[in-house]
Amino acid sequence: MAAPTDTYDASAITALEGLEHVRKRPGMYIGSTGVGGLHHLVYEVVDNAIDEAMAGFCSRIDVTLLADGGCEVVDDGRGIPVDPMKDPKLKGMPAVQAVLSQLNTGGKFEGKGYKMSGGLHGVGVSVVNALSIRLECEVDRDGKRHYIEFEKGGKLKTKLKLLKDAPRGRTGTTIRFWPDPVVFTESTEFRAQTLLERFQMMAFLNKGVEIRFKDLRPGHEGEATSFRYTHGLVDFVKHINATKESLFSKVGHFEKAEDDQEVEIAFQWNTGYQTDGIHSFANGIATIDGGMHEEGFKKALTNVVNKYAKQWSLLKEKDGSLQGEDIREGLTCIISAKLREPQFEGQTKGKLGNVSMRSLVERATNDQLAAWFEENPTEARKVVNKAIQASRARMAARKARETIRRKSALEGAGMPDKLKDCSTRNPDEAELFIVEGDSAGGSATQARDPRTQAILPIRGKILNVERARLDQMLKNAEIQTLISAIGAGVGEEFDLAKVRYKKIIIMCDADVDGSHIRTLLLTFFFRQMKPLVEAEYIHIAQPPLYSTVVGREKIYLKDDAAKAVFLEEHPNHNKEFQRLKGLGEMDWDELGETTMQVARRTLLKVSVEQAAIADEVFSILMGEDVESRKKFIQNNAKDVRFLDI
């Protein structure tokens, strides 16, 4: 760290002009400069086209990954305005130039250009421009095609000019950009499957809008995909439940609009045991932390089901009232709210804060879900009966939980001496390594920093929680151990504030069994301790795959890419490379040096940006539908970068 100077005057103050601040602090605008931030550039441009669709002016969006690494997005909306700005600060500048090069500039602030939109901050496409080495924009309006071009960092290269007449009747915007490798040092290569998942979700949320995708990069042979859903949210629910056994075939649907806000809801129950199947959106943005629209729906859902059950004497006196978690077991529900001025809590727009939306959703659900139950009595009774079974299982699970609580983490886990805890009681610095097997657990215990690092070996493969109710799950010794060690409860009772470790690291072998154990653990965390994943407390250790010797020094290489770089830097290297398949193959000091020491290790952070997609993927990979799992693996095979055979 540089030593502070004694002088603090005007010379120490820097004013960043235009888009300079974006390049200085890109993470503030796109989250990161890794692959997540790279894809965010595409989303920003496509979101603008989606806003046009929400306003009723766009029916098709074409996204193309260009052969030279760029990305092109074409829409058939109104086209960004090209007339001179009236704003005194930008007077005379063409509006399209202002939108592309000035932060906080757009048609979404006063509701004049858009009644409802997702991108309310006005930073979207200007940020894309700032973080690109080049950006081109073509606008078709009033029968003419206009062109403007920017170079690295959003600097104007070609002033707005007329190219030619636009194709007859054609309006819309075309944007082409090339990400700057100076910013995106990890990679500027887009991942097709990541983009397709996002585009499919957008198409579900905007019924009738077609999103077409084409990949022109070498090796992809012009792969093309198109998404368009006539029934929108109903199709979304069917898609999520396609890998699950439905409780009944019908998908419920209703919508309600008042003043400047509206809500649309689609729902269906399956025979599964999960209670986290509600996925909510506000103006097309995934509200992964829920908010007022979810609160209104949950409250009204519980009220409607209990009222129906009592009206038709489906509940016995001993069952009492059904709780929300009982009713939501096996429910898949999409809530899409649209409103003029959404209030999002947090920079990530993860939670909707508009109280008026809670009232609207609650009224709509109380009225229209009750009517749906009356019109579909067979389905309604199945929902109630499933909820009653869930209630009884919950009571059994409560007894099991109480048994676990009465025992300490060491006494009640089923493996009395397994947890080797750390001495610190500060969760911010405490780490829990979940290690595959006693042998690796012993090495990890020797290699750890006992003050901050706890070791929990697990024996074999834990229960697949995708196929088990909570009461069955709590009988599993390994799961009991995890719950006790983490110390924050499980399921609906999970309390993130009580976690004993804010860094939970899964450390498994780099083979098929290790991958399976890792997936089972991730499924458990996603389904039963989801706030851990959302808070990004879950990490995956990255033990090296290779070792070799240079002189007298042993060198460790993370993967095949690292090995290739090493050989480029050491072309005359003639020593063998040892493939390290198991943690148990490394001495404890090697394990510590390569995988556990904070200064030298590499960790892969687990995050959930789109919960609906994650829900679907976990259902496919861990559910009963073998054919869907096979298809998923085939479709994603091209995107696998590290394969252990």
pLDDT band at residue 246 under the 50/70/90 scheme: very high
pLDDT band at residue 634 under the 50/70/90 scheme: very low
pLDDT digits (tens, 9 = 90+) for 563-588: 888 898 888 888 888 887 667 677 88
Q: Is the pLDDT of residue 251 over 50?
A: yes
Nearest-angstrom CA–CA distance, 53 and 76: 9
Q: Is the pLDDT of residue 255 over 50?
A: yes
Higher pLDDT, 22 or 121: 22
Higher pLDDT, 3 or 204: 204
pLDDT band at residue 600 under the 50/70/90 scheme: confident
pLDDT in the model for residue 502:
96
pLDDT digits (tens, 9 = 90+) for 533-547: 889 899 999 888 888
Asked whether the beta carbons of 415 and 477 are under 8 A apart, the reply is yes
pTM (global) more than 0.85: no
Nearest-angstrom CA–CA distance, 457 and 77: 57
pLDDT in the model for residue 472:
81
Q: Is the pLDDT of residue 370 over 90?
A: yes
Question: Exposed e or buried b for every residue in 263-291, given b needs 16+ CB within 10 A?
Answer: bbbbbbbbebbbbbbbbbbbbbbbbbbbb
Mean pLDDT score, 348-356: 84
Nearest-angstrom CA–CA distance, 40 and 19: 17
Catalytic residues: 436, 509, 511, 513
pLDDT digits (tens, 9 = 90+) for 490-508: 887 899 999 999 999 999 8
3-state SS of the chain: helix, strand, coil percent to 5?
Answer: 40, 20, 40
Least confident piece of the model among 243-252, 472-481, 605-614? 605-614
SS3 255: strand
Over pLDDT 70: what percentage of the chain? 84
Mean pLDDT score, 1-25: 55
Over pLDDT 90: what percentage of the chain? 49
Nearest-angstrom CA–CA distance, 556 and 545: 8
pLDDT band at residue 611 under the 50/70/90 scheme: low
Higher pLDDT, 349 or 205: 205
CATH architecture for segment(s) 233-398: 2-Layer Sandwich (3.30)
CATH superfamily placement of domain 20-227: Histidine kinase-like ATPase, C-terminal domain (3.30.565.10)
Mean pLDDT score, 318-334: 91
Higher pLDDT, 114 or 320: 320
pLDDT band at residue 437 under the 50/70/90 scheme: confident
- 3-state DSSP of 45-98: HHHHHHHHHHCCCCCEEEEEECCCCCEEEEECCCCCCCCECCCHHHCCCEHHHH
Mean per-residue pLDDT over the chain, rounded: 84
pLDDT band at residue 604 under the 50/70/90 scheme: confident
pLDDT digits (tens, 9 = 90+) for 145-167: 999 999 999 999 999 999 989 99
Nearest residue to 543 via CA among 585, 509, 584, 520: 509
Asked whether the beta carbons of 472 and 524 are under 8 A apart, the reply is no
Q: How far is CA 267 from the centre of its chain?
A: 21
Higher pLDDT, 229 or 594: 229
pLDDT in the model for residue 528:
86
pLDDT digits (tens, 9 = 90+) for 259-271: 889 999 999 999 9
Q: Is the pLDDT of residue 619 over 60?
A: no
- 3-state DSSP of 507-570: ECCCCHHHHHHHHHHHHHHHHHCHHHHHCCCEEEECCCCEEEEECCEEEEECCHHHHHHHHHHC
Mean pLDDT score, 553-567: 84
Instruction: Provide the residue ranges of all domains of the chain, joining segments of one domain with +.
Output: 20-227, 233-398
Least confident piece of the model among 21-25, 542-546, 629-633? 629-633
Q: Is the pLDDT of residue 326 over 90?
A: yes
Least confident piece of the model among 60-64, 117-121, 272-276, 425-429? 117-121
pLDDT in the model for residue 639:
43
Mean pLDDT score, 457-481: 80
pLDDT in the model for residue 315:
86
pLDDT in the model for residue 417:
60
pLDDT band at residue 624 under the 50/70/90 scheme: low
